[in-house]
Amino acid sequence: MFEVKHIKRKGSNYIEVMQSDMVYAKIDLNLGGSLQELVMDNKTIISSKETLPYEESYASAILFPFANRIENGAYLFNNKSYQLPINKPEENNAIHGLVYNKKFDVVHYAAFKNDAIVHIRYIEKGEPLGFPFKYLMTLSYIIKSKSIELIVEVKNTDDFSFPFTVGWHPYFVSSNLKNSFLTIDCNKKILVNDQKIPTHEELMEFPKEIQIDDMQLDDCFMLNKKELTFKTPEYTMDFSFSTDDNFLQLYIPPNRKTIAIEPQTGSANNFNDNRGLKTLHPQELFGVKWTINIR
């Protein structure tokens, strides 16, 4: 039997999901509704404890209305100029969207014999600097003994259309990253400049299975399929995406205890270069589902 608790104390505000000693999930409502911890089959799959502080790592953050970076925080949409806050001053970029530090509200949660469901939401009233649009974001976590689904839905509640990209920034734990493997169907990598802004796409030969070994990764790839596999000494994870056009950012932090495997519906700076950019019209709803299966 699953169990769900809403914990509110001493500034903390989060949801816990448990199934005996085998499954544990922590969804932090004060940190953009992000999945800060995930344990399945008594193995740590996702953790924010093994990387930098949240304000530097953005661990498991939902990335919206843009993923990754916007060059100089500036963009043009419908012949109007906008300036986003620069939260990466050493690069002079805006990064990782505008909801990663927002407080989400609980809509509903329930526990059953074989799974648990958590629905949370954030209502934007159109106040953010550089993105003055209204929208409703709903996150749905469906947790089972060896799988989790994250469904992100965004509804435009404004009278105006706006550009957007949706991404997710989870860090996956491995006791031996050197001896962990990625299986990805991909033949295009997006190259960037010194400001980490995309410049062009490069055709590449991507092995069917890649051993992480001593690789240094902070790169974006264009996937041919809606799935990938990450294999560690403790577990194998199958990661699937519901959207047709999928971009994948891979990043290994300096301590090399985790790897960020970040699905995105568009690439960095697509408010300016349109690579994967989408537009949400008034009263329109967009949804994406990411599914993790552990074996």
Q: What CATH number is associated with residue 221?
A: 2.70.98.10
pLDDT of residue 262: 97
Say how far apart CA 58 and CA 48 lie, in whole Å.
9
Say how far apart CA 85 and CA 69 lie, in whole Å.
12
pLDDT of residue 127: 87
The pTM of the full predicted model, rounded to 2 decimals, is 0.96
Gyration radius of the chain over CA positions: 18
How many domains does one find in the chain?
1
pLDDT of residue 157: 98
Domain range enclosing 156: 3-294
Walk along the chain (295 residues) in steps of 10 and give the mean pLDDT of each run.
Answer: 95 96 96 98 91 89 97 97 97 98 98 98 94 98 98 98 98 96 94 96 88 94 95 98 94 94 97 96 98 97
Residues near 165 by beta carbon (within 8 Å), at least 6 away in sequence: 63, 64, 65, 66, 67, 264, 265, 266, 270, 276, 277, 278
Say how far apart CA 257 and CA 49 lie, in whole Å.
10
String of DSSP letters for 106-132: EEEEEE-SSEEEEEEEEEEES-STT--
Report yes or no: 185 and 257 within 8 Å, Cβ to Cβ: no
pLDDT of residue 283: 98
pLDDT of residue 206: 80
pLDDT of residue 49: 82
